[in-house]
Amino acid sequence: MAKKIAGTMKLQIPAGAANPSPPVGPALGQRGINIMEFCKAFNAKTADMEPGAPCPTAITYYQDKSFSMDIKTPPASYYLKKAAGLKPVGKRNRPRGAELPGREVVANVTVAQVKEIAEAKMKDLNANNIDGAMKIILGSARSMGIEVK
């Protein structure tokens, strides 16, 4: 007999850095999920990823207070900023794209870098082949003000 699903939620947590402090702790605690058990499982699953990479995570929790999680690859914007070598700016000290995409170019990446990003993201993209995945990544780069040479 299958477990009864109580609900689902999505969080974006840095790889290997899940801890009971906000936003993870309160989000899980109000749904009755064991916070420390989740943090240990998440950190173990993301141990092989780059530390600090943002990981979109879909969490399904059940009525018996158990849970399952689906960890996706980091967003394309994260990979593009890293490949372009954008420096952290602003209040939160994070790298940003162009303020006026289409009119302003903040960085350049190569086609080889785009292909590498597309290969890394292939399992989470809605594309049939690597060319389709590259077009998706190219669109993300264009909307961030990153030029592909």
For the chain, where are the alpha helices, taking DSSP H only?
24-29, 35-45, 76-84, 111-121, 130-144
Q: What is the CATH number of domain 5-71?
A: 3.30.1550.10
Strand order in the sheet with 67-71: 5-14, 54-62, 67-71
Domain residue spans in the chain?
A: 5-71, 76-148
pLDDT recorded at residue 56: 92
Instruction: Determine the distance from the C-alpha atom of residue 133 to the mean position of all C-alpha atoms in its chain, rounded to a whole number.
Output: 16
pLDDT recorded at residue 112: 92
Q: What is the pLDDT of residues 83-138, one digit of tens each?
A: 888 776 655 666 677 777 777 888 888 999 999 999 888 888 888 899 999 999 99
Q: Please check whether the two domains, 5-71 and 76-148, share a CATH topology.
A: no
Q: Which fold has domain 76-148?
A: Arc Repressor Mutant, subunit A (1.10.10)
Single out the residue of 52, 5, 13 nearest to residue 33, CA to CA.
5
Tokens 């840095």: give the residue. 14
Q: What is the pLDDT of residues 69-78, one digit of tens each?
A: 999 999 888 8
**Looking at the predicted structure, is the pLDDT value of residue 55 above 60?**
yes
**Looking at the predicted structure, is the pLDDT value of residue 146 above 70?**
yes
Query: How large is the average pLDDT for residues 56-70?
Result: 90
Q: What is the pLDDT of residues 1-45, one digit of tens each?
A: 578 888 899 989 888 888 888 888 888 888 888 889 988 999 899
